[in-house]
Amino acid sequence: MNALPSSFLPRTLSTVFLWVMIIIAYVLRSETAFTLLIAIPALGALWEYFALLRSGGIAHRRGIGMGAAVVLIVLNFWALHAHPGTMETLLIFPYEAGIFVLLTIFLLLWELGRSSTGRPAAESVAFTLFGVIYIPWLFLFMAKLLYMTPRDIHGFTTGQYLALFVIAVTKFTDVGAFLCGSLFGRTPFFPNISPKKTWEGIGGALVLAILAGIGIFYFFGDHLPRFSLGLICALSFLFGVAGIAGDLAESMLKRSLETKDSGHALPGIGGGLDLIDSLLFTLPLSYFILAFLHP
């Protein structure tokens, strides 16, 4: 058995702090708190993404991208707050597509107005648009999960328990990968992308993902769809795989820009993008699967 890395304690403290914030929001059942829990990480991670591009010498338009992200967040919460429900959340997609179309046109016109030519102009449009899609848009599927089910008789949202299921499975996947990889890791999984990830860590991650999914349904089953135990395990396994893929995708991005962490806001974890990278894959996947299984 290997010794735990020095980052274990600060990572644990950061994780506990974040879960305390989530628990407070759930106890208060405050839509304002849920909005902040989604908007702050999304905007912070996007800011870090643009900082990574800057350090890598890649052209981009941070101001335009951040402005588009704010518009996306406001649009989602304004529309979803007024019309919760599975079918209603689907109506947001044409409006989001319209924002991306306008953003693309605006970026192209911006570069045209600056008389930009060559590779920097193409980079600026492509990487700015990609950042807005990759981070705030994918992360906003948490808001869609929040409003996926109708309000209760007191007017409170009920979809936060769907979001809790996905968050718990995803983050315990991260915990399992870190602990099992640190303690028992021997066989590299993707050495060219993330040298510290091992098959032993991946196995532990998926086991903990399934246990987390079972635990959430055991404690909060009254607030969740009546799925069978087998389906819960299958969903947890699938979301665990998606979370690992999301983490590897961000590792590939960081490695291509020759940086270890996206930031240093969270001791032991890194930046906001390091915190939510796995959720960027599991949130949209879970939304569409749950919309199909439980319309």
For tokens 């890598």, the residue is: 56
**Residue 230 half-sphere exposure toward CB, CA atoms < 13 A:** 0
Q: 3-class DSSP state for residue 21? A: helix
| Structural domain boundaries enclosing 113 | 8-293
DSSP string, 78-125: HHHHHS-SHHHHHTHHHHHHHHHHHHHHHHHHHHHHTT--SHHHHHHH
Q: Stretch 211-232: mean pLDDT, rounded?
A: 89
Evaluate whether residue 28 is within a structural domain.
yes
Evaluate whether residue 3 is within a structural domain.
no
Residue 251 CA to residue 39 CA, distance in Å, equals: 23
Evaluate whether residue 38 is within a structural domain.
yes
State phi, psi for 64 to the nearest 5 degrees. Answer: -65, -40
Which tens digits make up the pLDDT trace of 107-141? 999 988 876 667 888 889 999 999 999 999 999 99
Residue 232 CA to residue 116 CA, distance in Å, equals: 52
Average pLDDT, the chain: 85
Residue partners of 182: CB distance under 8 A and separation at least 6: 2, 4, 5, 8, 201
Evaluate whether residue 195 is within a structural domain.
yes
Residue 226 confidence class, pLDDT cut points 50, 70, 90: confident
**Amino acid letter, 32:** T
Evaluate whether residue 1 is within a structural domain.
no
Q: Name the domain count of the chain.
A: 1
> Is the model more confident about 20 or about 159?
159
State phi, psi for 194 to the nearest 5 degrees. Answer: -140, 95
Evaluate whether residue 217 is within a structural domain.
yes
Q: Stretch 51-70: mean pLDDT, rounded?
A: 92
Is the per-residue pLDDT at 174 higher than 70? yes
Q: Helices (DSSP H) in the chain: which residue ranges?
A: 8-28, 31-55, 62-82, 86-90, 92-113, 119-132, 138-139, 141-146, 160-184, 199-220, 229-256, 272-276, 279-293
Is the per-residue pLDDT at 267 higher than 60? no
Residue 103 CA to residue 94 CA, distance in Å, equals: 14
Report which DSSP code applies to 269. Answer: T
Is the per-residue pLDDT at 44 higher than 70? yes
> Is the model more confident about 102 or about 226?
102
Residue 264 confidence class, pLDDT cut points 50, 70, 90: low
Q: Are 270 and 263 in contact (CB under 8 A)?
A: yes
Report which DSSP code applies to 190. Answer: E
Evaluate whether residue 2 is within a structural domain.
no
Evaluate whether residue 30 is within a structural domain.
yes
Q: Stretch 94-105: mean pLDDT, rounded?
A: 95
> Is the model more confident about 282 or about 222?
282
Q: Stretch 48-63: mean pLDDT, rounded?
A: 91
Residue 215 confidence class, pLDDT cut points 50, 70, 90: very high
pLDDT of residue 5: 60
Is the per-residue pLDDT at 257 higher than 90? no
CA–CA–CA angle 145, 165, 82 (5° rounding): 20
Residue 31 CA to residue 26 CA, distance in Å, equals: 10
Is the per-residue pLDDT at 8 higher than 60? no
Report which DSSP code applies to 257. Answer: T
Q: How many CB atoms lie within 10 A of CB 105?
A: 10
pTM as predicted: 0.91
